[in-house]
Amino acid sequence: MNIDKAVNISDLGRLAQRRLPKVIFDFLDGGAEDEITLRANREGFDRYRFRPRLLTANAKRDLSVTLFGETFKVPFMIGPTGLNGIHWRHADIALAKAAADAGAGFTLSTASTSSIEEVGASTSGIKWFQLYPWADRAFCARLIERAKASGYKALLVTVDSVNAGRRERDARNRFAHEVTLTPSVVLDGLMHPDWLFSVWVGGGGMPKMPNVAEFLPPGANAAAMAEFTRSRRNPMLSWDDMAFLKREWGGPMLIKGVLTAEDARLAREAGADGVVVSNHGGRQLDGSLATIEALPEVVEAAGDAVVMIDGGFRRGSDIVKALALGAKGVLLGRATLYGVAAAGQPGAARALSILQAEVDRVLALLGCHSVAELGRHHIAEV
């Protein structure tokens, strides 16, 4: 794949689509039900326009942000996505390395295909760990212990998925954290030889989720792990559990999936240091608010808690809009996944460098000297 030809994130998306079989690309790209929220995440950015200021002598711009005492070179980081190894072999490590090289953070999912320890040791870059509170408190406490021992700096607890959403593309393709080998899936695989040989044949079929392996009998296969993730969702979770997780972790903790002022307040009361405004990339509750629409009320309710956001970020201008509306940083989902699925670590690096250049250009045209300077006055709601 010639990723240098990709001038924006959409181009990387097209390259990823070309390299992956449909069943895999649909898993990466798709959303829940009618994909209303998936589209709304993108369309929401159009409701906000810039109010540029002129002649500000801003030849150099500072893109850095400081979160929980750590300084990042750019105001965006790679967010948690599960099963990354189905797109590119050892993709978690490729993404973590690309992030470290770009001075961006990396978040490892509970459902990663490389372990907490492997990714922890793979770079000296700043890493966060995302916890799915599957099963019980002992499960959560054990993963927290491992993430602490491996030097992860912040814990993101994803709470929008304690009940399962429904992705109809996956249902049609019979993809459920494992591939059903129907004749059309086999044919599709054969038509994507680069993916077939490097990921499927080279990796020995469906990648496993090593973080959950110790909760299963020795030698459990990927299907058993997929079943674990389905059967151990815990819809009885409550804010009390969040307070428990904060005590176990001790460090900075963010609740991921918040879309309302009410829950932002409850997150703070439970001891969270921050929230991630997120609708899981439109993969859970279809018809929910676009994240950029929910951002202002969450920022207002969050007080001094750190507000991060994800959902539909494909342009530097999207990122700058969110920062101007009060987010402290942006998490990337599909943007860097497209890159890694198209071309591994260089593809992820390309996605990050495209976004860095775009953020810098927007700041320049907006008359800003730094990300820190951004504020509500840079934005009009239309």
Return residues touching ligand FMN (CB under 6 A). Answer: 27-28, 41, 79-82, 109, 111, 130, 158, 256, 278, 280-281, 283, 310-313, 332-335
Which is nearer to ligand FMN, 19 or 280 (by Cβ)? Answer: 280
Type of residue numbered 9: I
Which is nearer to ligand FMN, 97 or 280 (by Cβ)? Answer: 280
Shortest Å, Cβ 257 to ligand FMN: 8
Shortest Å, Cβ 123 to ligand FMN: 20
* Residue 90 is a catalytic residue: no
Yes or no: say if 116 and 147 are a contact pair by the CB < 8 Å rule. Answer: yes
Shortest Å, Cβ 207 to ligand FMN: 13
Shortest Å, Cβ 283 to ligand FMN: 6
For helices 22-29 and 183-190, give the axis angle rounded to 10 degrees. Answer: 90
Q: Give the position of tokens 């790209």.
A: 29
d(CA 304, CA 301): 9
**Distances from the Cα of 86 to the Cα of 136, 172, 189, 203, 264, angstroms:** 27, 18, 12, 9, 34
d(CA 156, CA 119): 16
For helices 9-19 and 22-29, give the axis angle rounded to 10 degrees. Answer: 150
**What are residue 275's phi and psi, to 5 degrees?**
-135, 155
Catalytic annotation, pick one of 87, 90, 192, 280: 280
Which is nearer to ligand FMN, 74 or 368 (by Cβ)? Answer: 74
Which is nearer to ligand FMN, 128 or 200 (by Cβ)? Answer: 128
Which is nearer to ligand FMN, 112 or 122 (by Cβ)? Answer: 112
Which is nearer to ligand FMN, 125 or 312 (by Cβ)? Answer: 312
Type of residue numbered 41: N
Cα-Cα-Cα-Cα torsion 194, 197, 199, 202, nearest 10 degrees, comes to: -150
Strands (E), 218-349: 253-258, 274-277, 306-309, 329-332
Shortest Å, Cβ 373 to ligand FMN: 25
Which is nearer to ligand FMN, 120 or 257 (by Cβ)? Answer: 257
Shortest Å, Cβ 56 to ligand FMN: 31
End-to-end CA distance of the chain: 40
For helices 239-249 and 137-149, give the axis angle rounded to 10 degrees. Answer: 30
Give the three-class secondary structure for 129: strand
Q: Which of 312, 342, 341 is nearest to 84 (CA)?
A: 341
Shortest Å, Cβ 83 to ligand FMN: 6
d(CA 76, CA 317): 12
The catalytic residue positions are 280
